[in-house]
């Protein structure tokens, strides 16, 4: 893997690029690998070049909610926050696929933030974009009924969604039993067809009524 074949490094000065070549490393992890856990210290910035990482929060009872995903050319804002503040991770992450990338040590990340305006601008742009997304998530969880959030999720993922009810519950911050009950209600109304680990949208127009 070419360490410098990443857009975030495109505008670095020659001296900073040399530091990246010397100090950054490549990494590869398999499906299901935890890249960081809640309360872990943050020692590096992972830059994903292939694959997808899911960042999630988990309650004491094991209930999860997906906060966001990190795909190629995207950055993890919790990592950015922890690197800048020195705080420990407030959430966890897991590789949804095989993931490869570049790890930038904390000391190098902070040096680039201080000395490379183009680098820091990209970091803050990512931060602001993700914060907006998280605020939308907070708004949805706090103020929108679960049936509306489920309807929106199905519309975004359809027309055929191949996943378990538990995975949907983890995405929406709910529990499997409630998701299964709502899906059965949708099926009884002729909106969806349910089969093992698959949901097919039959009447998306009726589903949109829940969202509107």
- Residues 18 and 36: their CA atoms lie apart, in Å, by 28
Name the more confident of 138 and 41: 41
Q: What is the pLDDT of residue 62?
A: 81
What pLDDT score was predicted for residue 183? Answer: 95
Do the Cβ atoms of 64 and 173 come closer than 8 Å? yes
Q: 5-32: per-residue pLDDT in tens?
A: 678 888 899 999 999 999 999 999 999 9
Residue 91 and residue 121 in one domain: yes
Please indicate, yes or no, whether residues 131 and 207 belong to a single structural domain of this protein.
Answer: no
Q: Please tell me whether residues 28 and 71 are part of one structural domain.
A: yes
Q: Which of 106, 125, 80, 93 is nearest to 29 (CA)?
A: 93
Query: How much is the average pLDDT of 135-163?
Result: 88
Task: Report yes or no: 27 and 103 within 8 Å, Cβ to Cβ.
Answer: yes
Residue 212 has pLDDT above 80, yes or no: no
Same domain assignment for residues 52 and 126: yes
Task: Confirm whether 1 is domain-assigned.
Answer: no
- Is residue 138 located within the same domain as residue 155? no
pLDDT value for 150: 94
At residue 161, the pLDDT reads 94
- With a pLDDT cut of 70, the percent of the chain lying above it is 98
Q: Can you give the CATH number for the domain in which 85 is found?
A: 2.60.120.10
| Residue 126 sits in the same domain as residue 30 | yes
Last residue of a domain, one of 101, 120, 142: 142
**Radius of gyration of the chain from its Cα atoms, rounded to whole angstroms:** 20
Same domain as 124, residue 195: no
**Same domain assignment for residues 151 and 76:** no
In the predicted model, is pLDDT for residue 189 greater than 70? yes
Residue 41 to residues 36, 79, 211, Cα–Cα distance (Å)? 9, 10, 40
Average pLDDT over residues 74-79: 92
- Residue 195: give the domain boundaries: 145-211
Instruction: Tell me how far CA of residue 11 lies from CA of 46, 79, 117, 127, in angstroms.
Output: 19, 22, 9, 19
Residue 55 placed within a domain: yes
Counting residues of the chain whose pLDDT is more than 90, the rounded percentage is: 70
15: CB partners within 8 A, 6+ apart? none
> Residue 210 has what pLDDT?
83
* Residue 123 placed within a domain: yes
Q: Are residues 130 and 49 in the same domain?
A: yes
48-68: per-residue pLDDT in tens? Answer: 999 999 999 988 888 888 999
Residue 46 resides in a domain: yes
Is the same domain home to 94 and 164?
no
Q: Are 53 and 93 in contact (CB under 8 A)?
A: yes
Q: What is the mean pLDDT of residues 188-194?
A: 93
Q: What is the mean pLDDT of the chain?
A: 91
Q: Does any domain span residue 65? A: yes
Co-location of 160 and 112 in the same domain: no
pLDDT at 199 over 90: yes
Q: Is the pLDDT of residue 143 over 90?
A: no
* Dist CA 120 CA 90 (whole Å): 23
In a domain, 89, yes or no: yes
Q: Which of 121, 142, 163 is the last residue of a domain?
A: 142
pLDDT tier at 134 (50, 70, 90 boundaries)?
A: confident
2, part of any domain: no
CATH number, domain with residue 172 = 1.10.10.10
Q: Which of 142, 169, 196 is the last residue of a domain?
A: 142
Number of structural domains the chain divides into? 2
Same domain for 79 and 151, yes or no, is no
Q: What is the pLDDT of residue 16?
A: 93
Does residue 71 come out as left (phi exceeding 0), alpha (psi in the -120 to 50 range) or beta? beta
The answer to whether 89 and 42 are in contact (CB under 8 A) is: yes
The confidence band for 165, taking pLDDT boundaries of 50, 70 and 90, is very high
């Amino acid at each position: 893997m070419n360490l410098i074949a990443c857009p975030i490094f495109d505008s670095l000065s020659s001296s900073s690029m040399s530091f990246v070549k010397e100090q950054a490393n490549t990494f590869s992890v398999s499906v299901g690998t935890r890249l960081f856990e809640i309360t872990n210290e943050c020692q590096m910035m992972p830059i994903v070049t292939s694959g997808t990482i899911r960042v999630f929060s988990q309650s004491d009872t094991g209930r999860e909610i997906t906060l966001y995903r990190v795909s190629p050319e995207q950055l993890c804002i919790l990592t950015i926050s922890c690197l800048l503040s020195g705080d420990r991770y407030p959430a966890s992450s897991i590789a949804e696929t095989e993931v490869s990338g570049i790890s930038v040590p904390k000391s190098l990340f902070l040096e680039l933030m201080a000395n490379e305006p183009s680098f820091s601008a990209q970091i803050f742009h990512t931060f602001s974009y993700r914060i907006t997304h998280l605020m939308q998530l907070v708004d949805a969880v706090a103020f929108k009924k679960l049936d509306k959030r489920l309807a929106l999720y199905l519309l975004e993922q359809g027309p055929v969604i191949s996943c378990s009810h538990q995975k949907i519950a983890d995405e929406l911050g709910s529990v499997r039993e409630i998701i299964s009950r709502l899906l059965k209600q949708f099926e009884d109304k002729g909106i969806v067809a349910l089969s093992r680990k698959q949901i097919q949208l039959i009447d998306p127009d009726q589903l949109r009524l829940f969202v509107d």
